[in-house]
Each structure stands twice: as structure tokens, then as C-alpha cells.
Structure 1
Amino acid sequence: MEIEADMKRYDVIVVGAGPIGSTAARYAAMNGARTLMVEDHSSIGSPVGCTGLLSTRAVSECDVEPSDDFVFNSVRGAFVHPMNGDRLPIDGKKTKAYVVSRKMFDRQLGAMALGEDVDLWLNTRATGIETSGKIQRLSVIREGRTETIEANVIIAADGVRSRIAKMAGLGNVSKVLPGIQAEVPYRSDDTDFVELFVGSQVPGFFGWTVPVNESISRVGMAVDPKYGINAHEVLEELLINNKHVASRYGGGKLDLVMGGIPLGPLEKTYSDGVIVVGDAAGQVKPTSGGGIYTGAVCAKIAGEVAAKAVSEENSSSNFLSEYDKRWRGKIGKELSMGMRIHNFIGGLEDSELDELIGSMNDPAILDTITRYGDMDHPSILIKKMLHPSRSVHMLKVFRAFAKAVL
């Protein structure tokens, strides 16, 4: 249900009511700011543009407990399938992630924001920003009518092709991987494990199957646009011609979603009266494409800094730079490491990647992965793995990896 606002002047306006926008709005309101959230679509949580696999830390960072209201399944590990050779079994030994209904998850976060007295306008598209002194004027089309809303700070949480970031002169993320996912009849070997497919079968990133239950999985992938390959065609190739997937695929599609994965953060995520957060800012893990954990970390900072700007009556670019410094201090190094890992893996030939994965199929290395593997902080594992004594067979690969990443 849409919450009607009784005025057109707010302290903070958040554009975008996804999980990152809802979290930013909630934290702004919790810190004393009168906050409005505007959403382009007619409901929160639709359309879906995400895999719906959230790390346990991502769920916790959003200040919610996992529940049957939005969790379909839990997973503890992954089977990694190279182009040739045996699959690599990675077992975290305990729940590492949840397969969720993003629609219900997003709505729970939206309800939490409304519970902190955040106002919500649905069917509202932001069309322009005008600065007047210390005030930002946001032009919107709300249910077909043009309106103007004033605020001290606007938080842009409007996705990978953020209009607000562009209007504020901050631009958009330069590299975006097109992704596609289908929910399909699929006989999973083990619903505690996702499956990953790497190499030239999914150029520039990877493919996946995520088990919803024993008979349905989400099968998807993202590709690097530099290869000039249509993502939909690659998905069909994975479903029909990959022997492992094809033998378990029951045919047809129950659901189809598409989206973009931004790689690499914006050079600057603030300007006078504007803060950019989440996918709009490129705050996404380059190793997995996940953005809920990183985005939620940044959204909390965004809400706090925006509210502080209101209370101190200073929404200048210089004041809002605190947001940029704080979020980069928290996750900047991890994102940088993740980009180097992404670039390194993307530069390997199939034979090199097969060797890398094959060499990791060693009890001692698998134990290290179990002990130190972390979906949200892969650098912890990488630093442990880079010790050459882990595997003589991988010495050459480790040296190349260290040169590229460290």
C-alpha cells in the first residue's frame, strides 16, 4: 500500500525503494531526518532483477533474520565445473547463503523503512534535479502528474543506470555485464550446493544453477560484453548443450529475469546535495556480482551522513565527502582486490583455468577453502591460498596470480 505524504518538503529523499534504498531511507530516518522514498514502479520488489542468492552476512547486514517469509532454501557450498576435468566440490560445512524470494525480501525491508516513519511514493519517476542554495529540488512524474519536491539531500539508489547520478554529474558505472536467469525444472544433485560453470562456456564471468528445491533451480549467467555475445544465446547454450545441465534440465522456463552487473565503483559517489549508493555507485563484488551486502554497508553510512548533513545544515560536496571516505574505508580494498581477481580469472585460457581448478582439488586446499572461504571477503581466502606450499603443482599459477592480484 502506498503511503501518502502530507507535504512536499523533506530533509532527505531516497530515489529507489529496493533493499539498498530502503536501508538508506531507514537509517536516515533513524538518525532524525524526515525522509521520503520514491519508487519508479507500482510496487516494491517488482520487477526482479537478481539471482536471489544472499549470503548470510548480507541478510544480517540488512538487519533481518532469515525466515520462511522469504527464504526458500539454504546452501552451504558450490560445485565448480571447469570446461574439462572433474568438478571442484567446495563445502562450507554450514549455511553460507539463502535462496530467497527477492520480492518478499525487498518488501520486508521496505516495511521496516515505513516503520521508521519513512514516507513512500510509488509510480514516481525522478526526471530532474535543480539546486537552489542549500536545497535540492527533485522533479518527478507521479502517477502522470509533474511535481517538485524539496530536500537537503538526495540519495540515489536507483540502480545500475542511475538517472540521479548522471543528473548530478557523477556519471554511470562504465562496465556493466548483461545477465539473464531462468527459473526452470531442474533435478539438482544436492540442494545444499549451487553449481558454477566457468571458462569459455560463459565468457568473461560464469554461469550458475541455484536450487530453489529438489525439482526447480534458477539457471543463469552473465557475460562480458567485449566478447560481443548475446546473453540469452549463451543461456540457451548452457541449458541445451552443456551435458551436465542438459541431463538435469526438464525443459521450459517458469520465469525469466534480466539485469546488469556493474563492475567497479564510480570515481566519486557524492556531489552537492547528492549521495550515490548501491548498484548506482558500483558497490558490487566483482568476483560474484553480489551487491546486497556491500550495498547495505554503504546504505547505512549514506543514511547516517545524510541525516548529519541535515542536522548541521551543511549538504555541500565537501561535507558529504565523509560518506565516500567511510564506505571506501570499509569495503574499498575488498572491491579493488575483487576486480583484480576478476580480471586475472578472465584472462586465463580454458586450459589454464582447468589446471587451476584441478590443482585445487586437493584435500589440504579444500580444507583451507572450507576454513577461510567467505563470499563477501574473498581476499581472506586468496591470501591464504597464495602460499606456494599449498600445492607444488600450482606453483606457476600461484606466481602469476600473485603478480596480477597483489
Structure 2
Amino acid sequence: MPIASVDVLVVGGGPGGLYAAERLARHGVRVLVCEEHAAVGSPVHCTGVLAAESVDEFDLPRTATLNALTTARFVSPAGLVVEYTPRAPLATVIDRVAFDAALAVRAQAAGAELRRGARVLDLQPAASSVRANVGADVIDARLVVLACGANYSFQRRFGLGLPRLYLHTAQRELRARTLHDVEMHFGRIVAPDGFAWVVPVVRPDGEYVRIGAMASGDALGCYARMLARVAERWGVVADGVPPRQKVLPLGEIARTFGDRLLVIGDAAGLVKPTTGGGIHYSILSGGLAADVAIDALRRDRLDAASLSAYERAWRDQLADELDTQHALRSVVTRLSDAEIDSLFDLAQTDGIMPLVRKTAQFNQHRHLIRALFKHPPARRILFQALVG
């Protein structure tokens, strides 16, 4: 049973884990990334929409960009439509396989080792390391970074807690004959406690559409209804293959650090409570974890108290945003379809869109949420849902 030794073992080769690995390796840290699948970025669970500000902030690969999203259409249960076109493109659609592959190339170029098809079966804490079973191999790591997505077996084992809420998602990318602006559809029949989406995708070999739903219940049924709703207008060519389904965590775990342990991204429950988006938070938390790890490794202070600096760091940047998004979610999930329609009617007639244009940001929703709660007609509808 071969035993290898590294400074940091990253469990999971998604964007957050690969970004952390590159950052660590550039500081001379011996890093091993173990990705359980044969290829990074596959299978694809993500909608693959990334804010331009994220690309700039973290200097992310631009080679995986497919097309820009310039206008968003929001559709109410009754079919009311509100369109929003910002001054600059909302976001870009990316090829997740190519995006993750580019991050992997960067991490390896910086000196990190990447093992594909390498599932971490067990983690055993010891006095001076964490011993990991990876297939037939044993890895001793001074520090472990859990970047394993919505898989919480190790978090449960180490008493770190679980996300407070889970939703279910289902999505497929299909050929399309006619592309339109990105759409988000709301309503209890459409997607209870969530929404459904249609995202245009322009690839070198043709036009596609990503159709999906995020819901508290039957995501597969929500997907099927959404496909039926938009298929004719978008010219969707259905292939009979079922959508890929995923559990989506909404709400951070109780503790994102431990002795010789840090937890990032979806594995930490760091996902936008409003939209379920996770790439930005995964990369942000991966970078913060790497920074704390570099200092802790240098000082050889890898106990939980020392590594708690990581949680303080991400809370400083995200706690207010997460709390505000959760506050909105606690209200809007109580809205009836008629109340959702009333909000859309307000957006068409009563000054909500100027608030959107003034405060909306792709990665930060709290300013818009607070503006909505201060808007008297919108506030009446939202608070009626709480008391009614």
C-alpha cells in the first residue's frame, strides 16, 4: 500500500478546488487534487452562467466563454413579462467542461498534481496529518480542503453540520432552431420555491438551449413542463434523453473548518440562496481558503482555532449578502401565484424597474432586495405573504 505525502489534499476538482490548488501551488505548496470523475467538469450539473465581474475579479479563463447574455426576461405565472437590459452584458454563458479543464491546466502549470478518476474513500485525522485512502493508495496530507460539491459524508463525519435547505434541479442542453434572450419563469406550478430557466447557448457547431428548473419538489416534472412550454418558440429538438438531476444546497454548514480541514463552495453550502448559483462563491471561498492555508502551513499552525480565520474571512465578505438573500427567500416562497403576478404588475407600472437598474448586480443581490423591501407597494405584497 504505497504512502505519499503532500502539504494539501484537495478533495474535488471543480472550479473552487482547482482555483485553490493553483493559488497554493504558486506559493510552493505541494498540492494534490483528487477528482473522482474521469474528466474535470464532467458530468455537467451547472447552468454555466458566469458574471463578467467574476471573470475580471479572479482572472478566470476566457477561452471557455460561448456567448454573452444582454437581456433577461422574467415571466410570471400568468405570463406577464418584465425585461431587463443593463448597460453592459449581464453575464456570459460558459462551456463548463472547457472552463474546468482550463482551470486544471493552470493548476498543473503552477505545480499542482491532479489525479482524475481518484475517489477519496476515507479520511482519518492523525496528530501530524490527515490520512486519506484514494483507491489503493494512501495519502498523508498536512491539510485537507473539501471541495467535493454537494456530498456531505465527510462533513457529517467530522461534525461540521449540513446545509439548512436543499432544492432539486434538473437540466438538459438541447439543440434549438431559434434563440431568444435568457428567460426565468416563476410560479408554484412552474417550479415551487424556485424557478425555471431557458438559457441560449451559441457553440461553434450550432445553437443550443439549456432548459432547467430548481424546485423544492419534483424537479423532473418541472423540467418537463418547462420544455413543453418553450419547445415550439425556441425550436427545441428534444432527444428523449432525461435531464441531469442534482441536489442543490442552500445555506452554509455550521462550521467550515476543523483541525487540518477547510471546506469550500457547495461542500460548505456556499451557494446563492436566490438563484442557486455557485461558481462565484466556490472560487471566492477557494481563494480565501488558500490564503489562510498558506499562512497556516508556513507557521505549522493547522489546528481548528488557527484555521477559523478562513470562516471569518468568507463571513466578512458574504454573511450580509447570504442573510439578506435568505430573508428574501423566506418571504417569496410564501407568495401565491396571484401575489407573484401582482409584483410583476408593479414592475411594469410602478417604479420598480428604476430600482433594478440602480441596484441590480449579478453577484450581489442585497442592495436590490433592500430597495424592494423599502418600496411601499412591493413591501405591502411581500409582508402580506408573511402574515397571510
Shared fold, TM over 0.5: yes
Q: Is 2:74 aligned against 1:80? A: yes
* Alpha-carbon distance between aligned partners in 2 of 1:180 and 1:92, rounded to the nearest angstrom: 28
Equivalent pair of 2:325/2:369 in contact (CA under 8 Å): no
The Cα of 1:395 is off from its aligned counterpart by: 5.1
**Partner SS, residue 10 of structure 1:** strand
2:208 is the alignment partner of 1:216 = yes
Aligned pairs for 1:47-126 within 5 A: 47-66=43-62, 69-126=63-120
Pick from 223, 226, 237 the counterpart of residue 235 of structure 1.
223
From 172, 193, 204, the equivalent of 2:162 is 172
Matched, 1:19 2:15: yes
Alpha-carbon offset, residue 7 of structure 1? 7.6
Q: Given that residues 162 and 254 in structure 2 are in contact (C-alpha distance below 8 angstroms), is that contact kept between their aligned partners in structure 1?
A: no
Aligned residue pair count: 381
- C-alpha deviation, 1:217, in angstroms: 1.0
TM-score calculated relative to the size of structure 1: 0.88
Q: CA deviation at 1:254?
A: 8.5
Distance 2:157 2:107 in 1: 26
Match of 2:283 in 1: 296
Deviations 1:103-147 (A, max 9, x none): 000111111111210111121111111122121111111xxxx11
Q: Which amino acid aligns with 1:346?
A: T
Alpha-carbon shift at residue 358 of structure 1 (Å): 1.2
Q: Secondary structure at the match of 2:133?
A: strand
Q: Is the 8 A contact 2:178 2:235 kept in 1?
A: no
Alignment of 1:3-402 (within 5 A): 8-66=4-62, 69-141=63-135, 146-188=136-178, 190=180, 193-200=181-188, 201-213=190-202, 215-225=207-217, 230-240=218-228, 242=229, 244-253=230-239, 256-362=243-349, 364-388=351-375, 393-394=377-378, 396-397=380-381, 399-400=383-384
Q: Is the 8 A contact 2:331 2:383 kept in 1?
A: no
Q: What is the deviation of 1:188?
A: 4.8
Change beyond 3 A, Cα 1:378–1:97: same
State the identity as a percent: 27
8 Å contact from structure 1 (residues 338, 378) kept in 2: yes
1:386 counterpart SS class = helix
SS in 1 for 2:193: coil
Shift of 1:197: 0.5
Is the contact between residue 210 and residue 219 of structure 1 (CA under 8 Å) also seen in structure 2?
yes
- TM-score w.r.t. the length of structure 2 is 0.92
Q: Greater CA deviation, 109-118 or 252-261?
A: 252-261
Question: CA 1:257–1:395 in 2, change beyond 3 Å: closer, same or farther?
Answer: closer
* Distance in structure 2 (CA, Å) of the matches to 1:71 and 1:195: 19
Taking a change above 3 Å as real, the CA distance of residues 223 and 322 of structure 1, as seen in their structure-2 partners, is same
Q: In structure 2, give the amino acid aligned to 1:352.
A: E
Comparing 329-338 with 213-222, which one deviates more in the overlay? 213-222
Greater Cα shift, 213-222 or 102-111:
213-222
Give secondary structure in 2 for the equivalent of 1:158. Answer: coil
Q: Which amino acid aligns with 2:112?
A: V
Give the 3-state SS of the residue equivalent to 2:160 in structure 1. coil
Q: CA deviation at 1:205?
A: 0.3
Q: Which runs of 5+ in 2 are unaligned?
A: none
**Residues in 2 aligned to 1:327 and 1:300: alpha-carbon distance in whole angstroms:** 10
Task: State the one-letter code of the partner of 1:207.
Answer: A
SS at match of 1:177: strand
* Contact 1:263/1:282, CA 8 A, preserved across alignment: yes
CA contact (8 A) 1:278 1:284 kept: yes
1:263-291: CA deviation from partner (whole Å, max 9, x where unpaired): 00001011111111000000000111111
CA contact (8 A) 2:40 2:101 kept: yes
> What is the DSSP-based 3-state SS (H/G/I as helix, E as strand, rest coil) of the residue aligned with 1:342?
helix
Structure 1 SS opposite 2:169:
strand
Q: CA deviation at 1:342?
A: 1.6
Following TM superposition, by how much is the alpha carbon of 1:65 offset from its aligned partner in structure 2, in angstroms? 5.0
The more displaced of 210-219 and 162-171 is: 162-171
Relative to structure 1, the CA distance from residue 187 to residue 349 in structure 2 (aligned partners, 3 Å threshold; closer, same or farther) is farther
Give 1:203 deviation, angstroms: 0.9
Report the secondary structure of 1:183's partner residue: strand
Q: Deviations over 1:20-40 (max 9, x none)?
A: 100111122233321111111
| Equivalent position SS for 2:236 | coil
Residue segments in structure 1 that go unaligned for 5+ positions in a row: 1-5
1:166-198 CA deviation, whole Å, 9 max, x = no partner? 3333243242211111112345563xx310000
| Preserved contact between residue 139 and residue 147 of structure 1 (Cα < 8 Å) | yes
Mapped to 2, the partners of 1:153 and 1:322 lie a distance apart of 15
Quick check: 1:337–1:379 contact (8 Å CA) kept in 2?
A: yes
Is the Cα–Cα contact under 8 Å of residues 173 and 280 in structure 1 kept in the other structure? no
Aligned equivalents of 1:329, 1:352: Cα separation in 2: 35
Could you tell me how far 1:399 is from its partner in structure 2?
Answer: 4.9
Query: Distance between the aligned counterparts of 2:346 and 2:53, measured in 1?
Result: 29
Query: Counterpart in 2 of 1:3?
Result: none
Deviation per CA, 1:236-257: give whole Å up to 9, x if none. Answer: 12222x3x55443434138743
